[in-house]
Amino acid sequence: MTTLEYLPETPSQTAGPYVHIGLIPHQAGFDIFEKPFGNILVGRNTQGERIRIEGRVFDGLGSPCRDILLEIWQANAAGRYNHPADGQTDKPLDPGFRGWGRTGTEFDTGLYRFDTIKPGPVIGRRGHKPMAPHVNIWLAARGINIGLATRLYFDDEPALNEEDPVLRMIEPAIRRQTLLARRENRDGGVVYVFDIHLQGENETVFFDV
């Protein structure tokens, strides 16, 4: 067989137990960069409803993993991504919102947190309905050989979730529940609780994107 000239993707390797050094050095115990990346996506001028996303990541025995790196990528409040390939020019860009952040689960509690805004709905693939508001999540850690992709949807958007082209495809339907974050009002703010199960009875839906 003739081999076409495509280059194969570089293989993934685990991020290991010391991923913090490279990506969130403050958690490793030191500061080095003038402008480190972090888990606060909002600035003073960001448009949209302020929310916190909070949760834990559980292993196959139900123990919280305390060394997981999480990153999120999301649209702005109008439902547009801050990226040149997003051609939804009928929606405004928000210069105060990149839509990306990263953090690690805490060594003591296993909790992760992001301070962000609730995204708007994004156009679906050609021929499909708009996607319900969602946050794309990617996680990497010791024991995870290749990064895991999932999505967080909002449990207070039942009508939009019902029509979402990605949620609709997941069978059995009960597994869609693993992608719903639970809205809580706490300390005068809105918190969405989103736990991730790497394995076991409530294994989260992960995507091959």
Partner 1 sequence: MTVPQAEFIQRDRGQQPPALSPGYKTSILRSPRLALWSLQNSLSEFTGPVFGREELGPLDHDLLLNYAKTGEPIGERTIVHGRVMDENGRGVANTLVEVWQANAGGRYRHKNDTYLAPIDPNFGGCGRVITDETGAYAFRTVKPGAYPFRNQVNSWRPAHIHFSLSGSGFAQRLITQMYFEGDPLIPMDAILNTIPDPAARQRLVAPLDLNAAVPLDSLAYRFDIVLRGTRSTLFENKLQGN
With CB under 8 A as the contact rule, the residue among 23, 42, 93, 111 that binds partner 1 is 23
Which CB, 16 or 130, lies closer to Fe ion? 16
CA distance 177 to 182: 10
3-state secondary structure of 167: helix
Q: What does 154 interact with, of Fe ion, partner 1, none (CB < 5 to 8 A by kind)?
A: none
Q: Counting contacts by CB under 8 A, is residue 209 touching partner 1?
A: yes
In contact, 175 and 206? CB cutoff 8 Å: no
Q: Distance between CA 126 and CA 133 in Å, rounded?
A: 17
CB of 155 closer than 8 Å to CB of 182: yes
Stretch that binds partner 1, among 45-53, 110-118, 139-147, 181-189 (CB under 8 A): 139-147
Nearer to Fe ion, 20 or 134 (CB): 20
Binds Fe ion by CB under 5 A, chosen from 14, 16, 42, 52: 16
Distance between CA atoms of 152 and 114, rounded to whole angstroms? 12
DSSP structural state of residue 52: E
CA 165 to chain centre: 18
The answer to whether 6 contacts partner 1 (rule: CB under 8 A) is yes
**Alpha-carbon gap, residue 95 to 82, rounded angstroms:** 8
Please state the closest distance from residue 51 (CB atom) to partner 1, in A. 18
Identify the residue among 51, 53, 65, 180 touching partner 1 (CB under 8 A).
Answer: 65
Using rule CB under 8 A, residue 169 touches partner 1: yes
Binders of Fe ion in range 84-103 (CB under 5 A):
none
* Residue 26, helix vs strand vs coil: helix
Q: Which is nearer to partner 1, 92 or 188 (CB)?
A: 92
Q: Contact region for partner 1 (CB under 8 A) — 45-53, 141-149, 154-162, 180-188?
A: 141-149
165 preceded by a cis bond (ω within 30 of 0): no
Q: Given the rule CB under 5 A, which residues bind Fe ion? A: 16
